[in-house]
């Protein structure tokens, strides 16, 4: 038996590492997922994709088995009032065990989804989850502030725990199937999405993060400065990348314009409109849980937060361009 394990360690090191955390080398065994935070519709949507084989978009490989009803008392309408209905669905429709503590969840699972709709809760929960070493997906936004996001990254490095955070818009077909030749041909990109504001979060963190993530999914990291024009109904936030490309986010409050982007190419214009689709993101999450390899770097996740923080600072300064490096430095991200 020892010689077999030694051979497996030499030939399949990543598989053996996963086995040490799941307790099984069975190729067909579904990873047990714990879900923390039941105040978002994502908790039900993600669970349906993982737990219901009859769903046309069913994703094998992981199953939500335990959950904790974490929420934010100072957000009654957007958080606390939503929990009972979502918890009932998980319990009755998808046979998820509702636990009385995060620790109870952690004792039963191989990996974790932090789903609290309130980004401020993510650091608090990460402090409990990360020391276990279990891989973690953190729903958008990564954190309630840039400073909290930096602390989450530092905590992950301390405990050597893999994690990532993303909007579902990163993985829609219009983004992932964009050819490399087209990406390299982009001079300017404009994304649009809803941008409802929430008083406990920096303005773009609550919902504008979707459109900002679209910019980063297409252009990648490397934004230099951010400038913002704000009105009660609209935000126009433009980032200038270090190579001269521009990425502009149009965030609207009351329009019914959906999601999409417009790319100005060296050879024309490309328009893409799309609907939010959770299945591609959940596939990425399952692959991440299986491999423990995050699809997005720490640096890019932090830069997304810095872009949004810089947009708030630009608003405070009347639309002045704000350097990403200055924002990072102000929040302890650059020494």
Distance in angstroms (rounded) separating the CA atoms of residues 186 and 94: 44
Are 2-166 and 170-279+304-330 in the same CATH fold?
Answer: no
108: alpha, beta or left? (left if phi > 0; alpha if psi -120 to 50): alpha
Q: In what order do the strands lie in the sheet with 62-68?
A: 97-99, 62-68, 31-36, 111-114, 136-139, 163-166
Q: Which CATH number applies to 170-279+304-330?
A: 3.30.360.10
Give the E-state strand segments of the chain in sequence order: 31-36, 62-68, 97-99, 111-114, 136-139, 163-166, 186-194, 223-231, 234-241, 246-252, 259-265, 268-274, 322-323
The answer to whether residues 311 and 228 touch, using CB atoms and an 8 Å cutoff, is yes
Q: In what order do the strands lie in the sheet with 268-274?
A: 268-274, 259-265, 186-194, 246-252, 234-241, 223-231, 322-323
In this predicted structure, what is the pLDDT of residue 256? 84
State the fold for domain 2-166: Rossmann fold (3.40.50)
The answer to whether residues 317 and 230 touch, using CB atoms and an 8 Å cutoff, is no
What are the sequence ranges of the domains in the chain? 2-166, 170-279+304-330
Question: How confident is the chain (335 residues) per 10-residue block, as mean pLDDT?
Answer: 44 43 55 97 98 97 97 96 97 97 98 98 98 98 97 98 97 94 96 96 96 97 98 97 98 91 95 93 98 97 98 97 97 77
- Considering only CA atoms, which of 295, 276, 290 is closest in space to residue 209? 276
Distance linking the first and last C-alpha atoms of the chain:
50
DSSP character at residue 116 = -
In this predicted structure, what is the pLDDT of residue 15? 43
Extract the tokens encoding 101.
Answer: 């503590």
252: phi then psi, degrees, rounded to nearest 5: -115, 155
In this predicted structure, what is the pLDDT of residue 333? 80
In this predicted structure, what is the pLDDT of residue 275? 87
Extract the tokens encoding 226.
Answer: 């951010």
């Amino acid at each position: 038996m020892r010689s077999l394990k030694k051979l497996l360690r030499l030939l399949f090191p990543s598989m053996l590492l996963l086995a040490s955390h799941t307790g099984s080398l069975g190729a067909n065994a579904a990873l047990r997922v714990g879900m923390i935070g039941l105040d978002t519709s994502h908790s039900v949507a993600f669970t349906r994709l993982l737990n219901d084989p009859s769903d046309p978009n069913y994703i094998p490989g992981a199953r939500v088995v335990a959950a904790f009803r974490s929420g934010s008392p100072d957000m009654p309408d957007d958080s606390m009032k939503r929990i009972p209905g979502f918890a009932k669905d998980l319990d009755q429709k998808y046979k998820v065990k509702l636990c009385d503590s995060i620790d109870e969840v952690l004792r039963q699972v191989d990996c974790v989804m932090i789903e609290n709709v309130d980004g401020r809760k993510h650091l608090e929960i990460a402090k409990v989850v990360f020391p276990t070493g279990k891989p973690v997906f953190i729903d958008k936004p990564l954190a309630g502030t840039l400073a909290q996001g930096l602390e989450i990254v530092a905590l992950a490095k301390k405990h050597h725990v893999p994690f990532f955070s993303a909007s579902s818009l990163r993985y829609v077909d219009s983004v992932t199937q964009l050819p490399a030749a087209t990406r390299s041909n982009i001079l300017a990109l404009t994304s649009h999405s809803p941008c409802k504001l929430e008083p406990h979060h920096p303005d773009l963190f609550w919902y504008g993060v979707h459109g900002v993530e679209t910019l980063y999914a297409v252009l990648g990291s490397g934004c230099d400065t951010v400038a913002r024009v704000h009105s009660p109904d609209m935000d126009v936030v433009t980032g200038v990348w270090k190579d001269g490309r521009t990425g502009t986010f149009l965030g609207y409050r009351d329009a019914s314009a959906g999601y999409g982007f417009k790319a100005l190419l060296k050879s024309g214009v490309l328009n893409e409109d799309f609907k939010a689709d959770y299945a591609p993101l959940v596939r990425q999450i399952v692959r991440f849980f299986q491999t423990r390899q995050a699809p997005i770097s720490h640096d890019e996740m932090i830069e997304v937060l810095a872009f949004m923080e810089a947009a708030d600072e630009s608003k405070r300064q009347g639309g002045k361009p704000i350097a990403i490096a200055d924002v990072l430095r102000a929040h302890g991200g650059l020494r």
